[in-house]
Amino acid sequence: MLYGMTSDTAVLTEDLTKFYGSQRGIEKLNLDVRTGEVMGFLGPNGAGKTTTIRLLLDFLRPDRGHARILGMDPRRDKATLHRQIGYLPGELAFPGRETAADLLRFFADARGDVPWTAVTSLAERLDLDLSRPVRAMSKGNKQKVGLVQAFMHQPALLILDEPTSGLDPLMQQEFLAMVREARDAGQTVFMSSHVLAEVQSAADRVAIVRNGQLAAVEKVESLGRRAVRSVEIHFGDPVHASEFTGLPGVTGVEVAGPVLRCTVDGRLDPLIKAAARHEVIDLLSAEPDLEETFLSYYYTGEGTSDAAAAGA
Amino acid sequence: MLPPLVRKTWRDDRRAIIGWALGVGVFTAIYTGFYSQFQGAAELKQNALPKGMLDFLGIADMLSPAGYLQATVFSLVGPLLVLMCAVTLAARTIARPEEDGGMELLLANPLSRTAFAVQRLVAAAAAITLVAVMPWIVLSVLVPAIGMDVPAGNVAAACVGLLLLAWCFAGIAFLTGALTGKRGAVLAVTGVLAVATYMANALSNLSDNATWLKYASPFYYFIGTDPLHTGWHPGALLLLAGIGITTALTGVILFNRRDVGV
């Protein structure tokens, strides 16, 4: 990786490391988020997602390594940088007791040049009543206020920590549409989640963290392709397991009379070609979703208990 | 136009600011207003209380107008109210939002850490100043109105001393909050310091062997110089202001060097 960055890179971290005493927050994180992409940042709770985000925003200072955001230094250029960042905290708490409108007016004034119509149209879109005090709002409505303040100044970079938490499914869809529109407008989105479905439909790439370390960075579609899927084939006649055991990517072969069950990692082609020598009555393949792929990363490592936690 | 963060800080604290300002103003007005009715009682009280007790309470004489003001507004309850207000408001600048989580969105403002801390500090200092000058405003009206024979310059000197005492402890409170981000730490450090230095000043009046103690007490530089009788003591006042400003600026610097909200 080149030192420094080009305008193609919105977020770059090199060897980014943060310990809390002896406890690891994040270690040796090398990450790049390209300008104009949506990157999902996945991992179970406690994996280091929020630590990473707080390092990017200069709330925390790294023990080692560094980050560059939009070509700038998070600490030295904080004032300039935060005008171009929209941030949604993972643990949302609002300062003060004012109405949503007054609070958002403060954020608008502080950032400058935010047309009030940008606020009202976002509020309308998310079905948010701005006249109510934020403190008295439900979790979902607070989340909407958080989203409005993150999107309202059309920042070059959106850093969203667990953006859909507390939103009902309809609003989650609306949020994902907002993310896609942001990408279409050239904005970069870096969003953390422990729920994979939301990332799957909006992200271009995902970075997976586990135990404070980067486990993988993948394109969403290639993650789908190399996904582990379970396949069940019903043949016209009984088959022998030996025909299928040696095939590339095929494991866990079980044959019960005319029914074959196995697991395929990667391309389906070798299995299909082998199966075609028989009469195929039915073929069932479990939808390759990120959840399973995600879990496979965990099962290959030591942390199987993390995998259980991640499956939520 | 004031920075949005300063206005936001005042808006969030406005109930506390108005409440403290009214409380301190009313307290000053009531005590000062009692002066005429109090004369007989004061004589009794002065005779009834042992000399040591009067010295401890900082009551030289309750019969003269200056002595009366010193014994009431400037001895215990006045500074206590003003300092409680100063510490509360200073704790709200950094420690409270950091503890209740509101800090992240405040700190996400496009401001450097230093600018953020300075704006929070300036907003709180202005509010504390407003509350701490309430006795001055009230006394400027009441002292001549009741016909108390205390020179306006001496009243001003004592009131400025009270203001700078508030700055001194507000600076210490701000420093503690900026360094730790914990409201409990702010209250503990300033509370212990206030009580200890108040005692140091009070005890030094009792014993000839302990007179040196008072020099370690901000309360001495505020009221131990007897401004109501003797007027301005610029050195003492500058020292109080210096402690407040130095601790506050140290807080700004240290806040720029630590992790926030861990």
pLDDT in tens, B149-175: 899 999 999 999 999 999 999 999 999
Phi-psi region at B218: left, alpha or beta (left = phi > 0; alpha = psi -120 to 50): alpha
Residue A18 CA: distances (Å) to CA of A56, A65, A71, A182, B255: 12, 9, 21, 30, 18
CA-CA distance, B108 to A156, in Å (whole number)?
A: 15
| Cβ-nearest to B111 among A75, A79, A87 | A79
From chain A, pick out residues whose CB is under 8 angstroms from the CB of B109: 82, 107, 110-111
pLDDT tens profile A98-111: 999 999 999 999 99
Judged by a CB distance cut-off of 8 A, whether residue A205 touches chain B is no
Q: Among the CATH numbers 3.40.50.300, 1.10.10.410, 3.30.1490.70, 1.20.120.1200, which is that of A9-223+299-308?
A: 3.40.50.300
Q: What is the number of other CB atoms lying within 10 angstroms of the CB of residue A161?
A: 25
What are the structure tokens assigned to A85, written together?
A: 């960042």
- Angstrom CA distances, A75 to A78, A81, A187, B111, B120, stand at 5, 9, 22, 11, 19
Where do the structural domains in chain A lie, given as residue ranges?
A: 9-223+299-308, 228-287
- Quick one: average pLDDT of B39-47? 64
Please say if the pLDDT value at position A254 is more than 70.
yes
**Nearest one of B215, B159, B149 to B24, comparing CA atoms:** B159
Confidence band (pLDDT; 50, 70, 90) for B34? Answer: confident
Per the CB < 8 A criterion, the answer to whether B135 and B73 are in contact is: yes
Which of B5, B109, B102 minimizes the C-alpha distance to A153? B109
Q: How far apart are CA B139 and CA A157, in angstroms?
A: 56
Residue-averaged pLDDT of chain B = 91
Residues A87, B108: C-beta atoms closer than 8 Å = yes
Average pLDDT over residues A127-153: 96
Mean pLDDT, residues A164-189 taken together: 94
Residue B254 sits at the chain A interface (C-beta within 8 Å): no
B163, B133 Cβ separation under 8 angstroms: yes
Q: Do the Cβ atoms of B259 and A60 come within 8 Å?
A: yes
Asked if A135 is an interface residue toward chain B (Cβ–Cβ < 8 A), one would say: no
Q: How many residues does chain B have?
A: 262
Q: In terms of Cα–Cα distance, which of B249, B82, B78 is closest to B166?
A: B82
What is the rounded CA–CA span in Å between residue B61 and residue B109?
54
Q: What is the dihedral of CA A120, A125, A127, A130, to 10 degrees?
A: -10
- Dihedral sign for Cα atoms in the order B125, A79, A155, A201: negative
Lowest-pLDDT range, A93-97, B76-80, B166-170? B76-80
Q: How distant is the Cα of A174 from the closest Cα of chain B, in angstroms?
A: 23
Q: How far apart are CA B139 and CA B174, in angstroms?
A: 29
User: Do residues B86 and B240 lie in contact, with contact meaning Cβ atoms separated by under 8 Å?
Assistant: no
pTM of the model: 0.84
Distance, CA of B72 to CA of B62 (rounded, Å)? 9
Q: Where are the domains of chain B?
A: 4-257
As its CATH architecture, domain A228-287 has 2-Layer Sandwich (3.30)
Q: What is the ipTM of this complex?
A: 0.88
| Among B227, B245, B240, CA closest to B75 | B227
Between A29-33, A83-87, A110-114, A126-130, the lowest mean confidence (pLDDT) is in A110-114
Chain B CB within 8 Å of residue A142 CB: no
The two tokens of residue B239 are 């020292």
CB contact under 8 A, B12 and A102: no
Task: Flag if A95 and B8 touch (Cβ within 8 Å).
Answer: yes
pLDDT digits 0-9 by tens, A276-300 = 999 999 999 875 555 556 666 555 5
Structural tokens at position B141: 């009206």
- Confidence at residue B43, expressed as pLDDT on a 0 to 100 scale: 63
Give the model's pLDDT for residue A56: 97
Identify the residue with better confidence: B53 or A17.
A17
